[in-house]
Amino acid sequence: MGVYTAELNRTGSTPDIGSIEAPASSMRRVALMKAEFGIDATPADATLVWQMIRLSAAATGTAVTPNPVNPADAAAVTLAKDVITAGGTEGVLLESVPLNQRATYTWVGYGDGELIIPATANAGIKLKNAASSTLGATATVTFRE
Amino acid sequence: MSARVTGYARITDPGGMREHDTFTCAHCQRIIHVRTRADPASCGGLCKLCMGLVCPGCNARGKCDPWEKKMERAESRERFLRAAGLTE
């Protein structure tokens, strides 16, 4: 079981920053342990809404290669995507925090608090800034599989 | 409540840093922020069947359907469909 991190960036045409998804083969459960959200644009006052949403159909975007925290671990099987062009099918809203653009938001889950993605095709968790589809945003996720 | 928290949220802004304990709903996995001295009822409740903390929505629903069981159902359905050749 390895722990991986991936940096996801919103530069696509949707409010979605990125997603992590169960792969179609070699399926296994994925546990999201940490998510950090921030704006990498010029500081300004605006209201943003950071969200984590469950996906039941995969998003379309650019593949990101998750980095293993332990370099000895094998490459991640879990799919990470950013520059999302089609957001997939959204399910349960897991987290929604409205904040000023100048703020950064970090959530950490441990033990039973981790967000678990079931080992089913196209299941995943998407991170988005629901308030803007133009502002550059970045999210760093840490997960284990 | 604090003995059962399973996470924390940190907000950093020009005014400083704030932290809240959080827990993840045992039924739907929604993240609930537990604010200092908050009324426990406003945070959700304790499911007396699975003994997990649940969000206000699942608490109001009043039935126990843990996330683990939901995943097991989804995964067994997926295995059945694959075995039957009904998925890619």
Q: How far apart are CA B30 and CA B35, in angstroms?
A: 16
Q: Are residues B71 and A114, on separate chains, in Cβ contact within 8 Å? A: no
* Average pLDDT for A20-24: 90
Of B10, B24, B75, the CB nearest to A118: B75
Chain segment B20-61, per-residue pLDDT in tens: 999 999 999 999 999 888 887 788 999 999 999 999 999 999
Chain segment A89-111, per-residue pLDDT in tens: 999 999 999 999 999 999 999 98
User: Distance, in angstroms, between A22 CA and closest chain B CA?
Assistant: 12
DSSP-assigned letters across all residues of B5-43: --EEEEEEETTEEEEEEEEE-TTT--EEEE-TT--HHHH
Q: How far apart are CA A85 and CA A138, in angstroms?
A: 16
Q: Are residues A113 and B71, on separate chains, in Cβ contact within 8 Å? A: no
* Among chain A residues, CA nearest to B24: A113
Comparing CA positions, the residue from A91, A66, A79, A76 lying closest to residue A22 is: A79
Residue B88, pLDDT above cutoff 80: no
Global pTM value? 0.91
